[in-house]
Chains A and B, each alone.
Chain A
Amino acid sequence: MKRQLFLILMLFVVVFSLVRCQSSSDSANGSSSSGSSDSSLSGSVKIDGSSTVFPISQAVAEDFKAKYPNVEVAVAQSGTGGGFKKFSKGEIDISDASRPIKPEEAEECKKNGVEYIEIPIAFDALAVVVNPKNDWVEHLTVEELKRIWEPAAQGKITNWSQVRPNFPDKPLKLFGAGVDSGTFDYFTAAIVGEEDASRGDFTASEDDNILVQGVAGDAGGLGFFGIAYFEENQDKLRAIPIDDGIADNGDGPQHPTADNVISGVYQPLARPIFIYVNKKALDRPEVKAFVEFYIENMAALSKEVGYVPLPDNLMPLLKARFEKRVTGSAFGEKGSIVGVKLEDLYKAEEGK
């Protein structure tokens, strides 16, 4: 008898302390919130999807929460594909995506009556990096990168001298994104020309920090990942300018800088990233407020967390598109398109 009492007591203590925790935090929130906060709005916003987009959505959610303390915003990261799966079933309000929606995913949305609004929010650029001890590479062309990464290179291209004749006889060690990531999808589409077509004999990791360590520890290393990871590790890595051989978007090799990404000359390794909003969810005032807040703040916040903001002249276009609730994808629901200017795409769509 005593034993049971004791157990029940323990349970009560735990549950009670949790509830206490909660109520004290609520009151703390209420008192600390600044005058600009609006507590009349309540409800919840559910976001899931790409881990690449996650830091931006988190930053927006954080600032939104400060303004509307009673709205619960939950941001999960189960990957672009996983996010779209939930999105197409209407389980989440917003899907974070590091690539445009694919035909199968759009089909699934249509089947379940989910209409969506596509909003590009920032650019993510991929940096191609080598070890600082590497003093022979000044730049690489897309052609050369393709020769290194295409499936036919497997087991054959293993030395720098095979990449360009005047490169020294040094072993070539490759590091790249994990095959399930949107980064891998995009890199292969942009460089090899076909999504997911790549050699298999490279060190792959979903964790970009592992790739950073790999290239930093190998004089013959070559790798690719988001520029945020390069910028944090500039003392250990050297980014290689890339020449895509097309004179229209900047002649010669281009460095992976924010300016080059915005002006569209760092091609093809800069890609837009998106959020997809369930149109029906916008009937809920908290979701509408959140998306409006997102569009308003995405330029500043994406820059703060290490991404490249969209060009200013695109903003009015995107805002108008959202106000008019234009549904569907400007990418024609075909997945990634390499080397296209967002402005052209959305203007073309408007003209239709």
Chain B
Amino acid sequence: MIAQPIQTPAGWRRRERIRESLFKVIGVSVLLFAMMALTALLVNILLDGFQRLGFDFLNNYASRRAAQAGVKAALVGSLWMAVLTAMIAVPIGIGAALYLEEFSRKGGWARFIEINIANLAGVPSVIYGLLGLQVFVRVFGFGESLLAGACTLALLVLPVIITAAREALRTVPQNIREGSLALGATGWQTVRFSVLPVAFPSMLTGVILALSRAVGETAPLIVVGAAAYIASLPSGALSSYTVLPIQIYDWVSRPQHTFHQNAAAAIIVLLVMLLSLNAIAIWLRNRFQKRLAI
């Protein structure tokens, strides 16, 4: 046995303090590195794309002439896509979470569903595209439409929404449910008037994350037939469409540098759109939380 040097409490404390400050340095430098990468990326894109931004860029359709090209169809398509996806995914996702947390018996069946949801979260997005192509585009006969794309994206983001909604439901104190039931409320009334209002704000967080992901997806939409060029706006859920990430993908792969500037500008538009979606959702969350506090 090797004799360990006996340490005085003071020496031990000093060593631990050095360790702690070392860990701090490592932590901060990792953070700085990540931030620097992000900042460099943003600055690069802003410098490249800023000059192309303007009303015309938002109000023109894509074009072979880079200077006249804009993101109108892509921007409106992305908005449609976000709204449609949310309309499909949010009710189903929250409903599924409510069932799993509030109504189902904890047993084999619930665990089976749980495992499947966890697995779905790990499936690459192109696979969802292939599924959507067969199921929504062909079998359901939606064609290469906004609706088919939105259904595909809804499937893609469901695991995120369900998981977040379940976490939210778990944070609702049990005595709220018991109080409600004790007053004679049915299971549904308890969920509807006592549990959901408390859980809703944090459910929204999951919805935000899910929608941000949906708005940024390219691969599954290319598979389900999103156009890369279209010079008209969708007239309904069954129209052809394009979205911002596909427009960016097209412009980035062009040989001409002017198209790369367009891509940078479109990335800024996409970022602003994502940030404002998030801002709306955060604002909504805060409103609900405030109301609950009263």
Contact = CB atoms under 8 A, between A and B. Distances in A.
A2 to B, nearest CB: 9
Interface of chain B, helix or strand or loop or mixed? loop
Interface string A227-257: 0110111000000000000000000000000
B79 A61 contact: no
Contact of A78 (B62, B76, B225, B229): B225
B231 A46 contact: no
Contacts of A229: 255
Interface string A67-91: 0000011111110001000100101
B117 to A, nearest CB: 26
Contacts of B252: 207, 209
Given A61-B229, A76-B227, A3 B250 contact: no
Contacts of A82: 223
Contacts of A306: 255-256
A15 interface: yes
B85 interface: no
Contacts of B230: 72-75
A345 interface: no
A206 B249 CA distance: 12
B240 interface: yes
B63 interface: yes
Interface residues of A, number: 45
Contacts of B233: 21-22, 25
Given A58-B62, A61-B229, A78-B223, A228 B240 contact: no
A48 B61 CA distance: 19
Contacts of A201: none
A86 B224 CA distance: 11
Given A21-B76, A48-B225, A86-B225, A61 B255 contact: no
Interface string A312-336: 0000000000000000000000000
A138 to B, nearest CB: 25
Contacts of B288: 3
Contacts of A44: 240
Contacts, number: 103
B74 to A, nearest CB: 13
Contacts of B143: 91
Contact of A58 (B64, B232, B253, B257): B64
A338 interface: no
B231 A62 contact: yes
Nearest to A57: B229
15 contacts: A46-B144, A55-B64, A57-B229, A62-B63, A73-B230, A74-B144, A74-B227, A75-B229, A75-B230, A76-B225, A78-B222, A208-B253, A226-B255, A229-B255, A231-B255
Counting from the closest, the 10 A-B pairs by CB-CB distance are A74-B227, A74-B240, A59-B64, A232-B255, A75-B229, A58-B229, A229-B255, A65-B231, A228-B255, A74-B230
Given A61-B229, A74-B230, A78-B223, 13 more contacts: A18-B83, A22-B235, A25-B72, A62-B64, A72-B230, A73-B231, A74-B229, A77-B250, A207-B252, A209-B252, A209-B253, A306-B255, A306-B256
